[in-house]
Chain A
Amino acid sequence: GDSVTQMEGPVTLSEEAFLTINCTYTATGYPSLFWYVQYPGEGLQLLLKATKADDKGSNKGFEATYRKETTSFHLEKGSVQVSDSAVYFCALRNQGGKLIFGQGTELSVKP
């Protein structure tokens, strides 16, 4: 069945470091891809999305490109801030409408 795999955390970085969180997926057809972020004690918020191959989603300095050839959707940010500390979830929405999440990657940014 459809699935999402993302790199294990926790990821600990210093402020202004470069961030990459890897995400790969398995799906039939052409899913839409998403990154969600969860701050402590809150629900998930959409960070960015891409709906077709080679689309780049971006928001708040974060970017991810839909790569169909490598079935990947890696999240990147050039310079992280302490306020970016959260859990990040990669997800796909398949053609049946089901949203499937990866296991989440905890990011901790130190000043």
Chain B
Amino acid sequence: DAGVIQSPRHEVTEMGQEVTLRCKPISGHNSLFWYRQTMMRGLELLIYFNNNVPIDDSGMPEDRFSAKMPNASFSTLKIQPSEPRDSAVYFCASSTWTSPLHFGNGTRLTVT
């Protein structure tokens, strides 16, 4: 079991650029979560999917943020255009309906 795989591990980009973060959940897991972690706000749930369908996106901060899950083995979180205040560590996690969440190692995003 390779665990939840996120890419890239680090992303540095300039303000205004599009950023795409990627996540491969654990095979067989049917729930996928995107979290953002900052010193100021801690861990914030951005969006989660059950069976590839977005269930709750109330945590997505603005229309600049979008997430997709085209199939059970892949999800993306896109920020367009990016801003310096988007700098954070973004975590993806997956689970079955009843199991605990398994987290990836995160993508550290820096927007200059």
Contacts and interface: CB of A to CB of B under 8 A. Distances in A.
Interface of A: 34, 36, 42-46, 49, 89, 93, 96-104
6 contacts: A36-B103, A46-B100, A97-B97, A100-B45, A101-B42, A101-B43
Given A43-B104, A98-B56, A104 B97 contact: no
Q: Is the interface of A mostly helix, strand, loop or mixed?
A: strand
Q: Is the interface of B mostly helix, strand, loop or mixed?
A: strand
Contacts of B100: 34, 46, 49, 93
B55 interface: yes
Given A34-B100, A96-B55, A97-B31, A89 B105 contact: no
Contacts of B93: 44, 99
B101 interface: yes
Given A34-B100, A43-B103, A44-B103, A97 B48 contact: yes
Q: Which of B93, B97, B102, B103 has the most CB of A within 10 A?
A: B103
A23 to B, nearest CB: 14
